[in-house]
């Protein structure tokens, strides 16, 4: 299946389980792959026929900026659900990285894949 992707989308959010994390905003990084049949927009050359990565990015920024979960797992699940429910995506692969959360690691986080049921 073809994909539409968003790579290294950086968004500041309230995230984390520790007290000090509840008082600051941290930069999270999202890599998102969304299944989509690109032959349709390729035939029409019309933005209306695409899965618009700008529109998805804007909505993800909105959701993440307004969120305040403890775990990255919870936030990843919420973002995947929004992409599937609001943009009609059949399958999404999402990597949520939390850079600098663990000393010695460039980033930690989660990778999930979810499908429309
Ligand atoms: N699997 C997870 N492990 C941890 C998380 C998390 O969200 N998922 N969060 C933390 C802390 O918030 C950490 O990021 C602070 O450095 C620890 N482990």
DSSP string, 6-28: EEEEEEEE---SSGGGGGS-EEE
Q: What is the pLDDT along the chain (117 residues), one digit of tens a residue?
A: 999 999 999 999 999 999 999 999 999 999 999 999 999 999 999 999 999 999 999 999 999 999 999 999 999 999 999 999 999 999 999 999 999 999 999 999 999 999 999
Length of the chain equals 117
The residue extents of the domains of the chain are 3-115
Q: Is 98 a catalytic residue?
A: yes
Q: Closest residue (by CA) to atom 15 of ligand 1?
A: 101
Q: What is the pTM of this model?
A: 0.97
Alpha-carbon span 85 to 43, nearest angstrom: 26
What integer pLDDT is reported at residue 4 of this predicted model? 98
Structure tokens at 95: 């990597």
H or E element at residue 83? helix 72-87
Between the CA of 114 and the centroid of ligand 1 the distance, in Å, is 21
Alpha-carbon span 87 to 99, nearest angstrom: 28
Fold of 3-115: GTP Cyclohydrolase I, domain 2 (3.30.1130)
Q: How far is CA 97 from the centre of its chain?
A: 10
By most ligand atoms within 8 Å of CB, the mutation choice from 101, 105, 106, 111 for ligand 1 is 101
What integer pLDDT is reported at residue 12 of this predicted model? 98
């Amino acid at each position: 299946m073809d994909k539409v992707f968003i790579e290294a989308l950086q968004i500041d959010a309230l995230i984390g389980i520790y007290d000090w994390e509840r008082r600051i905003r941290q930069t999270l990084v999202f890599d998102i792959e969304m299944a989509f049949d690109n032959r349709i927009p390729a035939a029409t050359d019309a933005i209306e026929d695409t899965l618009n990565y700008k529109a998805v990015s804007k909505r993800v920024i909105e959701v993440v900026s307004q969120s305040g979960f403890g775990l990255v797992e919870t936030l990843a699940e919420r973002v995947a659900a929004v992409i599937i429910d609001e943009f009609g995506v059949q399958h999404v692969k999402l990597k949520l990285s939390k850079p600098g959360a663990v000393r010695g690691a460039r980033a930690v986080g989660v990778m999930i894949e979810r499908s429309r049921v």
